[in-house]
């Protein structure tokens, strides 16, 4: 294949390999109660695992997945006993409450916590940077279900939509992100009242603390979240924050900063990055009132300009971490890293073969939300490969793009009998004829 055979890749963390995580996901599904009284020819675990496999393989649609089911490999690699056809899959999954999937997400996350795999993601004194972001992933004038958000327009027409609050551990130096279980923003049961991002965030942080009472987080969000009730919610759950602010939305805060500047209380700081020809320019001031109505909510304020020959970029944030010339640069990088959740999470889902907005089927109750959750779960497993699996990284580097990687992965999956995902990745790296794997495993 043109690769020197003397290359021996670094050891792979076996508990974070695709095969180990598929097994874990599968046993998580198997422990969920199946409330169906009749027609249990296909188990709930098989239906969930089939949908998970569909997203894991990036099948372009449920129909495409149904046509090319490759039963043999779905059995050996994903542990599925019986694969449902498209209509039974939708029927079985529609009544499943999305919240039952939480333990599966947490069990995968627990694998990250083993053997220092999370270490590359630590940011500022052992904290993890947690990006939160609301996204709309479905919108239609006609298709809708009981959980759709419902907007009635002035002309009497309606729009139905699905949104969720996405959450991911990010790091300024890492391309990979670790998605956590998202919080669906859905119509509240029976009330017909629309849910909103603020309520979803409240639910999310409460569950985050239940699942991870001891992890230290710095939450990073866009400027809409820089409001007093939200900051108080974060504070109540022991979460630090770096939140965007805009002069237009926070005129009082920016006036107070101006006043502090006149009083000589503002600190200026500059850092030159000659290698890339950029100057990082900061001004910051601690202990400012967030707004006139909530002067008791005190925040530390950072304003930042990135100056190069061709352009000036400007950002501002508030944080509860006291700002000094020592930490203002990493705080800025933490604030700016937030785009990763859009680039790496949402855009990956949309553009890199996940067909996030493609209609896999909507259902009448929860199907749309269950599919969105399973897609995130497949993405979580992929990110474990991207960050921790040397074999996956080698295949990705060799093929040059994720799109090509998924394409080749599917092609092999549908044509060859394979014992494991490891065998599939090895075949992609060495070619199918290579008899003995060079990649070693450790059991850390």
CB 175 within 8 A of CB 394: no
| Least Cβ distance, residue 92 to Zn ion (angstroms) | 18
CB of 369 to Zn ion, least distance (A): 8
Q: Write the CB contacts of 119 (distance below 8 Å, at least 6 apart in sequence).
A: none
Question: Quick one: 197 or 386, whose CB is closer to Zn ion?
Answer: 197
C-beta of 161 vs 346, nearer to Zn ion: 161
368 or 383: CB nearest Zn ion: 368
CA angle 38, 40, 44 (to 5 degrees): 125
Contact flags string 345-384 toward Zn ion, x per CB under 5 A: -----------------------x----------------
In angstroms, give the least distance from the CB of 194 to Zn ion: 12
DSSP readout, 217-265? EEEEE-GGG-SHHHHHHHHHTT-EEEEE--TTT-HHHHHHHHHHHHTT-
Q: Which of residues 401-440 bind Zn ion (CB under 5 A)?
A: none
Token pair recorded at residue 153: 């327009």
Instruction: Report the DSSP pairing between strands 217-221 and 240-244.
Output: parallel
In the complex, the smallest distance separating the C-beta of residue 139 from Zn ion, rounded to whole angstroms, is 10
Least Å from the CB of residue 146 to Zn ion: 7
Nearer to Zn ion, 159 or 347 (CB): 159
Site for Zn ion in 126-145 (CB under 5 A): 145
Nearer CB in complex with Zn ion: 140/420: 140
Q: Is 148 in the site for Zn ion (CB under 5 A)?
A: yes
Name, in order, each residue with C-beta under 8 angstroms of 390's C-beta and a sequence gap of 6 or more.
Answer: 9, 10, 11, 12, 439
Kindly list the distances between the CA atom of residue 441 and the CA atoms of 18, 20, 76, 223, 383, in Å, as whole numbers in the listed order: 13, 12, 20, 44, 19
CB of 365 to Zn ion, least distance (A): 9
| Comparison of 31 and 359: residue with beta carbon closer to Zn ion | 359
Q: How many residues bind Zn ion (CB under 5 A)?
A: 3
Token pair for 331: 């705080």
Smallest separation, CB 440 to Zn ion (Å): 47
Instruction: Please check whether residue 18 is in contact with residue 385, taking contact to mean a CB–CB distance below 8 angstroms.
Output: yes
Separation of alpha carbons 163 and 349, rounded Å: 14
User: What is the distance, to the nearest Å, from the Cα of residue 39 to the centroid of all Cα atoms in its chain?
Assistant: 35
Q: Of 368 and 423, which CB lies nearer to Zn ion in the complex structure?
A: 368
The footprint of Zn ion (CB under 5 A) covers 145, 148, 368
């Amino acid at each position: 294949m043109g690769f020197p055979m003397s290359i021996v890749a670094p050891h792979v963390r076996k508990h974070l390999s695709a095969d180990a995580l598929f097994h874990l996901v599968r046993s998580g599904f198997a422990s969920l109660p199946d409330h169906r009284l009749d027609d249990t020819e296909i188990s709930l675990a098989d239906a969930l695992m089939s949908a998970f496999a569909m997203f894991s393989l990036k099948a372009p649609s449920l129909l495409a997945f149904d046509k090319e089911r490759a039963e043999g490999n779905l059995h050996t690699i994903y542990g599925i006993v019986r694969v449902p056809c498209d209509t039974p899959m939708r029927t079985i999954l529609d009544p499943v409450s999305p919240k039952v999937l939480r333990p599966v997400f947490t069990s995968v996350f627990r694998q990250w916590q083993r053997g220092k795999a999370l270490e590359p993601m630590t940011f500022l004194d052992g904290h993890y940077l947690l990006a939160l972001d609301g996204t709309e992933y479905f919108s239609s004038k006609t298709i809708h279900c009981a959980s759709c958000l419902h907007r009635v327009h002035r002309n009497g027409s309606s729009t139905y939509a699905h949104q969720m609050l996405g959450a991911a551990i990010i790091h300024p130096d890492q391309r990979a992100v670790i998605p956590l279980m998202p919080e669906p923003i859905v119509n509240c049961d029976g009330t017909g009242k629309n849910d909103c991002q603020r309520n979803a965030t409240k639910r999310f942080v409460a569950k985050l603390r239940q699942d991870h009472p001891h992890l230290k987080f710095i939450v990073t969000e866009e400027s809409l979240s820089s409001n007093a009730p939200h900051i108080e919610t974060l504070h109540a759950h022991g979460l630090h924050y770096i939140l965007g602010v805009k002069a237009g939305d926070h005129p009082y805060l920016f006036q107070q900063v101006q006043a502090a500047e006149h009083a000589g209380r503002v600190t200026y700081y500059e850092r030159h990055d000659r290698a890339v020809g950029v100057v990082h320019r900061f001004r910051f001031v601690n202990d400012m009132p967030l707004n006139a109505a909530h002067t008791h909510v005190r925040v530390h304020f950072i304003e930042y300009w990135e100056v190069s020959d061709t352009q000036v970029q400007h950002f501002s944030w508030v944080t509860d971490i006291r700002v000094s010339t020592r930490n203002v640069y990493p705080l800025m990088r933490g604030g700016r890293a937030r785009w990763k959740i859009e680039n790496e999470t949402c855009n990956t889902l949309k553009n890199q073969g996940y067909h996030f907005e493609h209609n896999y089927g909507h259902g009448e109750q929860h199907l749309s939300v269950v599919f969105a959750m399973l897609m995130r779960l497949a993405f979580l497993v992929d990110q474990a490969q991207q960050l921790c699996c040397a074999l996956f990284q080698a295949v990705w580097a060799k093929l040059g793009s994720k799109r090509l990687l998924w394409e080749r992965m599917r092609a092999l999956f549908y044509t060859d009998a394979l014992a494991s995902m490891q065998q599939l990745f090895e075949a992609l790296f060495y070619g199918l004829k290579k008899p003995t794997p060079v990649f070693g495993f450790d059991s850390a």
